[in-house]
Amino acid sequence: MARWLLALAEYDITCVTPKAIKSQALADLLAQFPSGEHEPAEVSLPGVVHDSAAVVEAYWDLKFDGASGAEKGGAGITLTSEEGEKFHLSYKLDFECSNNEAEHEALIQGLIVAQKKRLRKLKILGASELVVRQTMGDFALKEPLFGPYRTVVQGLLTQFDDVQIQHTPNTQPFPRCLGYTGGKGGYIK
């Protein structure tokens, strides 16, 4: 630091704190209207002026599916807006897991993605009846392995304003991107 100071000393450099531009803009605006009376201006605005409407936040569909292979598993997620905007994501799970564990991982990843996209309302559609029913609280946890999954899912669900979850039989293929084939097929090698 001292070397830099000596090297830059030959140049006449001085530090000056910048003036606040925002406060000056406010002062200039108030100077334009010196009277104490605050009546709206009688100038009409060109064009059509629309009344402001309350923004209604739409639901997003979150479809998730997980699969386990011989050694590792995969998770697929699709987020779809009411306008048809879609996001497809797939994850390769680098650990041995059962199909149910892969389904839980897919749901958790989907909720994390929705949270990062700052979505507030979700309709969750899952092919795994076990995961959906456990998340809704309809099924009891018989295997202690799923306890932490349920805790994480419940914690993530509290981050949203409204969440609807339902089981949808796997009649249509779920996310098929990045080599993920869903169901028992897992990933294409």
Per-residue model confidence as pLDDT tens for the chain (189 residues): 678 777 777 777 776 666 656 666 666 766 676 665 555 556 665 666 555 444 457 888 999 888 887 777 888 888 898 888 888 888 888 888 888 888 888 888 899 999 998 889 999 998 888 888 888 877 777 777 777 888 888 888 888 888 888 888 765 544 444 344 444 444 333
DSSP letter (8 states) at residue 112: H
pLDDT for position 45: 55
Q: How far apart are CA 80 and CA 62, in angstroms?
A: 7
Which string of DSSP letters, residue by residue, matches 126-185? ES-HHHHHHHHTSS---SGGGHHHHHHHHHHHTTSSEEEEEE--TTS-----TTEEETTT
Those residues with Cβ within 8 angstroms of residue 165's Cβ, 6 or more apart along the chain or in another chain: 123, 124, 125, 126, 132, 135, 136
pLDDT for position 96: 83
Q: Which amino acid is at 171?
A: T
Q: How far apart are CA 107 and CA 62, in angstroms?
A: 9
pLDDT for position 174: 47
**Is the pTM value of this prediction over 0.85?**
no
Q: Which fold has domain 60-187?
A: Nucleotidyltransferase; domain 5 (3.30.420)
pLDDT for position 30: 66
